[in-house]
Structure 1
Amino acid sequence: MAAAIELKQVSKAFKGKRAVDNLSLAIERGSVVALLGPNGAGKTTTVSMILGLQQPTSGQVKLLGGSPNERGVRARIGAMLQEVSVVDGLKVAETINLFRSYYPNPLPLEKLLRFANLEEERDKMAASLSGGQQRRLGFALALAGDPEVLFLDEPTVGMDVTSRKVFWDTVRAMAGSGRTIVLTTHYLEEADSIADRIVVINNGRLVADGTPSEIKAETTGRIISFVPGAGVTNETLLAIPGVSGVEWNGPRAHVSSGNTDALIAELIGRQVPMKDIEIQSGGLEAAFQSLVQSAK
C-alpha cells in the first residue's frame, strides 16, 4: 500500500534561508506520527507544504498518492491548525454544518459535537467561545469531512485537563479505526502516549525517527532500578563497568547504562545483592533535549 504522506528531498527557502532542508519522509497509512522539534525547527513549514498551503522550493510532496492541491485529495483530509478563525454571526452547530457542506460524505453533526465535547455549546455563538472551546471547535471542523488523514498542530493548547483527556481519548479511537494522524505538540508526554512513531526535526533536517521507546533508548540509554542490599553504596555502583550514572530515590537505586543487558550480567556476576529489579527507558523530554543539543 502506498504511503499516506511522502516527502522526497524537500526543501523550502525564505529569503535565502532554508526552513526545511532536503527532508525525505514517508508516513504509512493508519499510523500516528508525532512531528517534534524546537521553535523554528521547520515543523509548521513542513506541515504547510504537506497540506499544499506552501509550495516547496525543491523536491516533491505527495499526499494520499496525489498532489496536496488536488480537490479530490483535499476532500479526504482534515487539519486543526494553531489559529482558529470563527465566522461572525454563526452558532457552533451552524459553523460545523457550514463546514460539513464542503464535503461529499461528512460526519453527522451530533457525532462531531460529541467528538469535540461541544454538545452543551451547540447553540452558543461561535465567537463567544473561550480559547479552549474554540480549539475544540477547530477539532470538529477538522473532522467534518470524515478525513482519512488528520493533521493536529498543537491541538491541546488552551484546553483544560478534562478537555485534553476527552480529546486524546477521541484521537485514540480514531487511530484505532485506521486513520493516519500527524500531530505536533510541545506536550511531550502526549506525544509519548499517543504516537506510535516519533519524528524529530531540527534546523529543517531530520535528526531522529523511530518508536517512542527506540528514541528514548537510543538517546538516553536505559535505567536499571532496584533496591540494593546492605553495604551497596553509590561508589560501589559507579565502579562497575557500564554504569554511566546513579541516582537514589529513598532506598531505590536508578542506574543508567547504554547497555542494560550487559550491565545486568555484570551485576549478577559480581553477586551484587538486589531485589525488585525494573528496566526502563529515560523520558521523552530528556531524549528530545539530547537530540536537539546534538543537532546544533
Structure 2
Amino acid sequence: MTKTSGTAGTEPAVSFTGAVKRFGAVRAVDGIGLDIARGETVALLGRNGAGKSTTIALLLGLDEPDEGAVRLFGAAPDAALRAGRVGAMLQEGRAVPRVTVRELVTFVARRYPDPMPVADALRLAGVTDLADRRVDRLSGGQTQRVRFAVALAGDPELVVLDEPTAALDVEARHAFWASMRAYARRGHTVLFSTHYLEEADAHADRIVVIDHGRIVADGSGESIKRSAGGHLVAFDLAGRSTEGLSLLPGVVSVEVRGDRARLRTDDSDATVVALAAMGAIRRLEVAPASLEDAFLALTSEPAAPAADIPADAPADVPLKESVR
C-alpha cells in the first residue's frame, strides 16, 4: 500500500462521523462530527477531561468508537498508519538510551514504506546540529524537537501533535513552532492540541473547541472570539448597582470582580454610548476579547461528578479540572 492509494485527493484528511466513546456511564466522546481538509492546520482545545485525548486516541486507532466512524484519507486509521500517511507526537514517551538522534530517526524511518530522507526530517525538526548527540542526554526542549523529527520520519501527509510544547521554555516553544510551520508549508495537514491558547490563535488556520465530549465551537480564532462577544468593556462600579447592565446594547454577558464590571459585548461602541448616558464611565477600558476569554465563555459549564468516572478510564475523562 502506498500513500496515494484509494481515491487520492478526494477525501478529507480526517473525518469523524457521529463518533461516540464511552467509559462506563461517561461519554468521553459524545457524537463528534468533524472533517479536516488536506493542508489545514487545526488546533484542538478543551479543558482537562473535555475529551481531547480520547478523540486523538480514536483518530490514531489506539481505541475504537462505540458508535460512529473515524476515517483518515478515507481509510481506517490503522490502514493509514501502516501506509505511512500519519505521524504522531504524543505526550507520553521516554528517551531511548544509548542511541543518537540520527540513529533513532533512521530506525523509525525504516519502518515505513516511503520514508522522508533522514536529513530532511532532522532539518524540518530543527535538530540537524543534534544528530550525533545521544537522545537520553538532551534537554527537554531538544527532546521534544527530536520527537517531532520521529513523527516526520515516515514522511506523513498528516501529523498529530498532542500538547507538543508542554513544559518547554519560551525559546524552545518558538523553535518548535518554526519547525511545525516549515512542515505545514509543504502542504501537509497538522492537528495539534495545546493548553497554550495563544499558540492556537497564532498557528492554527482553524480552532475546534471540545467540551464534555462535544464540539462547542469550530472556526477561525477571530470567528470564535466574535461568537463569544467580540470586545470587553470594563469600568469601576464605584458603588453603583449592576442592575440593567445585561440589558445594555451589545452586551452578551456581565462579570463583576470586586468593584469592577466586565461586559462582554458584540457592539462595544453601542455599549460605551449607553454607559456614558448612565454616567458609568470611571476608569473605562475597551479591549478586543482574547481567545482565552472566548474559551472560558464556551467551557464554563460545571463538569460531571467525579464519582461517575470509572477507575480505568483514560486520563482525560475526569472533569474536575482547571482550564488548559
Instruction: Give the TM-score range, shorter chain.
Output: 0.7 to 0.9
Higher relative contact order (CA 8 A, sep 6+): 2
> Relative to structure 2, which stretch is displaced further, 3-12 or 70-79?
70-79
Specify the alignment match of 2:306 in structure 1.
none
Specify the alignment match of 1:57 in structure 2.
66
- Work out whether residues 13 and 20 of structure 1, in 8 Å CA contact, stay in contact via their aligned partners in 2: yes
Per-residue CA distance 1:119-145 (angstroms, 9 max, x = gap): 332222212222222211110000111
> Relative to structure 2, which stretch is displaced further, 120-129 or 36-45?
120-129
1:179, distance to aligned residue in structure 2 (A): 1.0
Alpha-carbon separation, structure 2, partners of 1:73 and 1:95: 19
Specify the alignment match of 1:42 in structure 2.
51
Specify the alignment match of 1:289 in structure 2.
296
Specify the alignment match of 2:175 in structure 1.
166
- Work out whether residues 243 and 255 of structure 1, in 8 Å CA contact, stay in contact via their aligned partners in 2: no
* Percent of aligned pairs with the same amino acid: 42
Q: 1:105 aligns with which of 90, 111, 114?
A: 114
Listed as ranges, the gaps of 5+ residues in structure 1 are: 226-234, 247-253, 271-278
1:107, distance to aligned residue in structure 2 (A): 2.1
1:109, distance to aligned residue in structure 2 (A): 2.1
Specify the alignment match of 1:134 in structure 2.
143
What amino acid maps onto 1:202 in structure 2? D
Q: 2:126 aligns with which of 113, 117, 121?
A: 117
Specify the alignment match of 2:199 in structure 1.
190
Q: 2:96 aligns with which of 87, 98, 104?
A: 87
SS of the residue corresponding to residue 61 of structure 1 reads strand
Alpha-carbon separation, structure 2, partners of 1:5 and 1:71: 11
Specify the alignment match of 2:308 in structure 1.
none
What amino acid maps onto 2:68 in structure 1? G
What amino acid maps onto 1:259 in structure 2? D
Alpha-carbon separation, structure 1, partners of 2:114 and 2:71: 23
Alpha-carbon separation, structure 2, partners of 1:200 and 1:209: 6
SS of the residue corresponding to residue 159 of structure 2 reads strand
RMSD: 3.4
SS of the residue corresponding to residue 11 of structure 2 reads coil
Alpha-carbon separation, structure 1, partners of 2:190 and 2:249: 39
Matched, 1:3 2:27: no
1:117, distance to aligned residue in structure 2 (A): 2.6
SS of the residue corresponding to residue 33 of structure 2 reads strand
Per-residue CA distance 1:223-251 (angstroms, 9 max, x = gap): 589xxxxxxxxx9xx999526489xxxxx
- Work out whether residues 21 and 205 of structure 1, in 8 Å CA contact, stay in contact via their aligned partners in 2: yes
Specify the alignment match of 1:259 in structure 2.
267
Q: How many residues align?
A: 279
1:85, distance to aligned residue in structure 2 (A): 3.2
Counterparts in 2 of 1:263-278, with a 5 A limit? none
- Work out whether residues 126 and 179 of structure 2, in 8 Å CA contact, stay in contact via their aligned partners in 1: no
Specify the alignment match of 1:231 in structure 2.
none
Distance 1:193 1:243, change over 3 A: same
Distance 1:72 1:182, change over 3 A: closer
- Work out whether residues 117 and 163 of structure 1, in 8 Å CA contact, stay in contact via their aligned partners in 2: no
Per-residue CA distance 1:157-216 (angstroms, 9 max, x = gap): 232222211211222232232211100000110000001111111111111111100111
- Work out whether residues 208 and 217 of structure 2, in 8 Å CA contact, stay in contact via their aligned partners in 1: yes
TM-score of the two chains, using structure 1 as the length reference: 0.81
1:64, distance to aligned residue in structure 2 (A): 0.8
- Work out whether residues 13 and 37 of structure 2, in 8 Å CA contact, stay in contact via their aligned partners in 1: yes
- Work out whether residues 19 and 70 of structure 2, in 8 Å CA contact, stay in contact via their aligned partners in 1: yes
Distance 1:70 1:255, change over 3 A: closer
What amino acid maps onto 1:16 in structure 2? A
Specify the alignment match of 1:178 in structure 2.
187
> Relative to structure 2, which stretch is displaced further, 126-135 or 200-209?
126-135
Alpha-carbon separation, structure 2, partners of 1:286 and 1:45: 25
Distance 1:80 1:17, change over 3 A: same
